[in-house]
Amino acid sequence: MEFYTYEGSAQFNFTRKYDPSNSPEVPSPRITNVEVTTGDGEEYDQNTTVVKVAVENPARQIYGTNLMVNTRETTYSRRGGSTAAPQGNKTVLVPIKEDPDTLVAGEVRLYADNLSEGEEGFDQREFVGRVDGDTEVYNRSYEPIEPRWSRNRTYHYENESVEERIEANEEHTPLDYAIVAAMGVVILLVAVRLIRR
């Protein structure tokens, strides 16, 4: 902001710091929904597992934002240009390595330029879901992490409760059920053949 006088000029600089991930008085971009699904057939084929992220920008200005998704099997899947128009919404698909039949657990970060700076972070969500099922989404405070090009990169997403479910065999894919059904049919056929002898 500049003020001018008749004989000269004076310049004043006003700076206001705020936390973009937790500032109700300053509208900033945020994640409104996360869903585990498959590609739409256009950007990604229908055999590709993707995280569908809805982003809202309630501000009257545009922000340059990026999305970073980390899951149990995918590290640093980034989508640039994730900016919603001022006072608008945008849906972004982020590809991940998980098979469409598996339980997917991960996190998504919405940030400006630098993933490792807390001041650059707008929002973060953690999620657990399946392609053809519900996705549970949890709000998290933005946690900076080292970017993938960093020499110190050691970050990998972990979710102990999902790991425990998988280890306890609570996690079954359709292939697991098909194998059990096929084994049941084979046992039934063998039993019928033995009885007929």
Task: Tell me the domains of the chain and their CATH numbers.
Answer: 17-158 (2.60.40.10)
Average pLDDT, the chain: 84
What confidence score (pLDDT) does residue 34 get? 97
Is the model's pLDDT at 70 over the cut of 60?
A: yes
- Which is nearest to 131 in space by CA: 6, 12, 47, 65? 47
d(CA 105, CA 61): 33
90, 105 contact by CB (below 8 A): no
Q: Give this prediction's pTM.
A: 0.74
Rounded to an integer, the average pLDDT of 146-160 is 81
Residue 137, Cα to own-chain centre: how many angstroms?
10
User: Residue 172 above 60 pLDDT?
Assistant: no
Considering only residues 98 and 6, tell me which one the structure prediction assigns the higher pLDDT. 98
- The span from the CA of 143 to the CA of 155, in Å, is 12
Residue 155's pLDDT is 84
Contact status, residue 107 vs residue 125, Cβ threshold 8 Å: yes
